Amino acid sequence: MEGRNERKPKQKKTAVEMGRMTLEEYRKAKKVPLVVVLDNVRSQHNIGAVFRTADAFCVQKVVLCGISACPPNQEIHKTALGAEESVDWAYYASTEEAVAALKREGYRVYSVEQVHDSISLPEMSKERMGEDPVAVVLGHEVFGVSQRVVDMSDGCIEIPQYGTKHSLNVSVAAGIVIYSIVNELMG
């Protein structure tokens, strides 16, 4: 008889077992109507992490603005691990220009920022977002989303926090927001 403390090692799943798409299948797959806009994000590692999260949740596109680096870029690749090749992306010299273009295309634009009258992320419902596709803007690691972009936005989303810090790393915030909105849109 085996002892209670003897356990079989858990085997990791393979990509095939998880049903992962090939790069070609991913490019053809239907995407979630969500665009992630990076407003002057300076860390290439953060940019890569956002690409990787965008791939994981079939986000439509990542829009890089201002000082944000663009692929191909070795530092982005270190954290994106190839997602910069699967996820569509665009670059705009200014975030204001990107937001204006998205609004002309019919997107509802939300900045992820702590402002008066912000919407708590758990309150972002499909009904609140409406039928239009959604874009979320995430800001610079120190300064956040610029005030001009906040003013152009249809609203601001705030991630509830309970500790002593008042902010999250931009790639962590992106992961939380993307996961929450994709679940709401797809649910």
In a domain, 160, yes or no: yes
Q: How many CB atoms lie within 10 A of CB 54?
A: 29
In a domain, 52, yes or no: yes
Which residues, at least 6 apart from 122, have a Cβ–Cβ distance to it below 8 Å? 160, 180
DSSP H helical ranges for 74-120: 74-80, 83-86, 95-104
In a domain, 92, yes or no: yes
Q: Which residue has the higher pLDDT, 8 or 47?
A: 47
% of the chain exceeding 70 in pLDDT: 97
> Is 51 within 8 Å of 171 (Cβ atoms)?
no
Q: CATH number for the domain including 92?
A: 3.40.1280.10
91: containing domain: 25-186
Distance CA 21, CA 28 (A): 10
User: 112-131, pLDDT tens digit by residue?
Assistant: 999 999 999 999 999 999 89
Q: Is residue 127 packed enough to be buried (19+ CB in 10 Å), middle (13-18) or exposed (0-12)?
A: exposed
**Confidence tier at 177 by pLDDT (50, 70, 90):** very high
For the chain, how many structural domains are there in total? 1
> Is 89 within 8 Å of 61 (Cβ atoms)?
yes
Cα-trace Rg, the chain: 18
**Confidence tier at 3 by pLDDT (50, 70, 90):** low
pLDDT(19) > 80: yes
pLDDT(143) > 80: yes
Predicted pLDDT of residue 8: 79
pLDDT(151) > 80: yes
User: 31-53, pLDDT tens digit by residue?
Assistant: 999 999 999 999 999 999 999 99
In a domain, 7, yes or no: no
Predicted pLDDT of residue 187: 80
Distance CA 18, CA 162 (A): 34
In a domain, 55, yes or no: yes
Distance CA 154, CA 102 (A): 12
In a domain, 17, yes or no: no
**Confidence tier at 6 by pLDDT (50, 70, 90):** confident
In a domain, 30, yes or no: yes
> Is 52 within 8 Å of 89 (Cβ atoms)?
no
Which residues, at least 6 apart from 132, have a Cβ–Cβ distance to it below 8 Å? 106, 107, 108
Which of 9-13, 65-69, 158-162, 167-171 has the weakest average pLDDT?
A: 9-13
In a domain, 91, yes or no: yes
